[in-house]
Amino acid sequence: MSVSAAEPAHEPMAPEPWRIRQVRREVADGEVFTWTMEPLSGEAAVARPGQFNMLYLFGVGEVAISISALADDGTPVHTIRAVGSVTRAMQDLGPGDVVGLRGPFGSAWPVAAAEGRDLVLAAGGIGLAPLRPVVHAVLARREAFGRVLVCYGARSPRDLIFRDELEQWRANPDLDLRVTVDRGTADWKGDVGVVTQLIDRGGFDGRNAIAMVCGPEVMMRFSALSLHRRGIAPERIHVSMERSMRCALGFCGHCQIGPHFVCRDGPVFPYPAMEPAFRVNEL
Amino acid sequence: MNELMEMLKDRPFFEGLSEAHMKLLAACAALRSFEPDVCLFREHEPAEAFYLVRSGTVALESRLPGRGARTFATLGEGDMLGWSWLIPPYRWHYDARAITPVHTVHFDAAVLRDRMDHDPELGYALLKRFTGLIVERLQAARLQSLDIYGDADVGLGG
């Protein structure tokens, strides 16, 4: 397969056919699953951490899915939660099935800007998926970064995704992984509480740190407050927004927040650009 | 006592306290350790202490009829544990159990409570800090109760 620049390949509104190579169930009931795919054309644009693709299940519909890893050959890996009509139908697909893909789209996490600094990643729920490529990028050039703290919160132990990889990260002295759940179980020996409490416990130099946050908006809002309280300037806190993306090109306006098109200007924004929106109900 | 003073000075919770008040706190403090599964305190017992967790993990638990103990929060290194000693009837509202080896600074709260009554400056300084702590925990409990990772948490994943 050959790869080209980070712009969407070919005509941006026309999905290219991609074949599912591998499906991995991330949680016991299979509600969250990861697809490794390959383009039938043999060509794909290289994505950057934080970007997303539009995945099209022919005859059903199209959804924006963030890129949860880049395979060794540069092809994007997608982690999907089955919650809507399209993603529920996607749950039934397996290796060999073909879907449409447009992308990659949107802004990326500022990984280069984190070099020489401490890095705090705060993920909630499936928000770990768009942050995972950042961890991979950091581990590939670990010496370029200061302390790396990964805070991950989920609803319960059974909802934790990328479990095998979490174990690898936990054993890796180059990373400080902290995991918490809202509700523990009898056999859960880890932390119970919200992800903001992991941030509050610190372990980083706020004056020289950069933060990347992805999860439900209420979690991102409180995480940003905690990060700021720990000394990280708001402009060094970055959030990834989720809205109903349709065209992914900034034309249709479905994902508009004030002057920003989340699909084109985001999904990754500096926190100050989104902070006013966090204060508006139902925006 | 000097060792304890140094230990406390490093902690953000005690930042800004006067030298005299720090000395008083250190005089009321002692190092205590707990093996895994040992309770630091139990619900309804008199609350005569609070703790600074130096290392390890402490589970805060409530017992539910027929369902055993349920952990609703865990505390770790640098966290303060316990405020029931501030509020009548001075009894713990939950159990605190070590789930790993836990090392703490234990404070004699009964003595401190008396000193706070007679030294309003100390009383205000400590109440301000514990109120901040209570608000933080309340916010966390509210977030936990919202079930923010429910179906509305789609992200760019579904």
> Out of A192, A216, A267, whose CB is closest to B73?
A192
Specify the pairing of strand A61-70 against strand A148-154. Answer: unpaired
Cα within 13 Å of Cα(A82), Cβ side? 16
Answer yes or no: is B55 within a domain.
yes
**Residue at B104 is within a domain:** yes
Residue B121 belongs to domain with CATH number: 2.60.120.10
Give the number of C-alpha atoms closer than 13 A to the C-alpha of residue A262, restricted to the C-beta side. 22
User: Max Cα separation, chain A?
Assistant: 52
Residue B11 domain flag = no
Which domains occur in chain A, in start order?
A: 2-105 (2.40.30.10), 112-278 (3.40.50.80)
For residue A130, the model assigns a pLDDT of 96
Query: Does B154 sit within 8 Å of A182, measured CB to CB?
Result: no
> Which of A53, A126, A162 has the most B C-beta neighbours within 10 Å, making it the best mutation to test the interface with B?
A126
User: Is residue B73 domain-resident?
Assistant: yes
How many domains, in total, are found in chain B? 1
Structural domain of B65: 30-145
Q: Which of A126, A154, A155 faces B157 most closely, judged by CB atoms?
A: A126
Are B78 and A159 an interchain contact pair (Cβ–Cβ within 8 Å)? no
Q: A with B: how many residue pairs have Cβ under 8 Å apart?
A: 112
Confidence of residue B108 (pLDDT cuts 50, 70, 90): very high
pLDDT of residue A5: 46
Q: How far apart are the first and last CA of chain A?
A: 41
B58, closest residue in chain A (CA to CA): A191
B64 touches chain A (CB under 8 A): no
E strand residue ranges, A71-190: 76-81, 98-105, 118-124, 148-154, 176-181
Q: Is residue B127 part of a domain?
A: yes
Is residue B125 pLDDT above 60, yes or no? yes
Q: Above 80 in pLDDT, residue A7?
A: no
d(CA B141, CA B121): 30
Asked if residue B101 is part of any domain, the answer here is: yes
Distance CA A124, CA A128 (A): 6
| Residues of A in Cβ contact (< 8 Å) with B71 | 184, 188, 192
A214 annotated ligand binder: no
Q: What is the pLDDT of residues A11-37, one digit of tens each?
A: 888 899 999 999 999 998 879 999 999
Chain mean pLDDT for chain A? 90
Please indicate if the annotation marks A151 as binding a ligand. no
Q: What is the pLDDT of residues A50-105, one digit of tens each?
A: 999 999 999 999 999 999 999 877 789 999 999 889 999 999 999 999 999 998 99
Give the angle A8-A66-B152 at the CA atoms, nearest 5°: 140
In a domain, B17, yes or no: no
How confident is the model over B14-28, as a mean pLDDT? Answer: 94
pLDDT digits (tens, 9 = 90+) for A94-122: 999 999 999 899 999 999 999 999 999 99
Residues 157-216 (A) with a CB less than 8 A from some CB of B:
159, 180, 182-184, 186, 188-194, 196-197, 200-202, 214-216
How many whole angstroms separate alpha carbon A104 and alpha carbon A170? 30
Per the model's pLDDT, the better-predicted residue between A42 and A4 turns out to be: A42
* CB proximity under 8 Å: B 106-145 to A: 136, 139-140, 143-144
- What pLDDT, in 10s, does the model give residues B64-86? 887 788 899 999 999 999 999 99
Residue B60 lies in a domain: yes
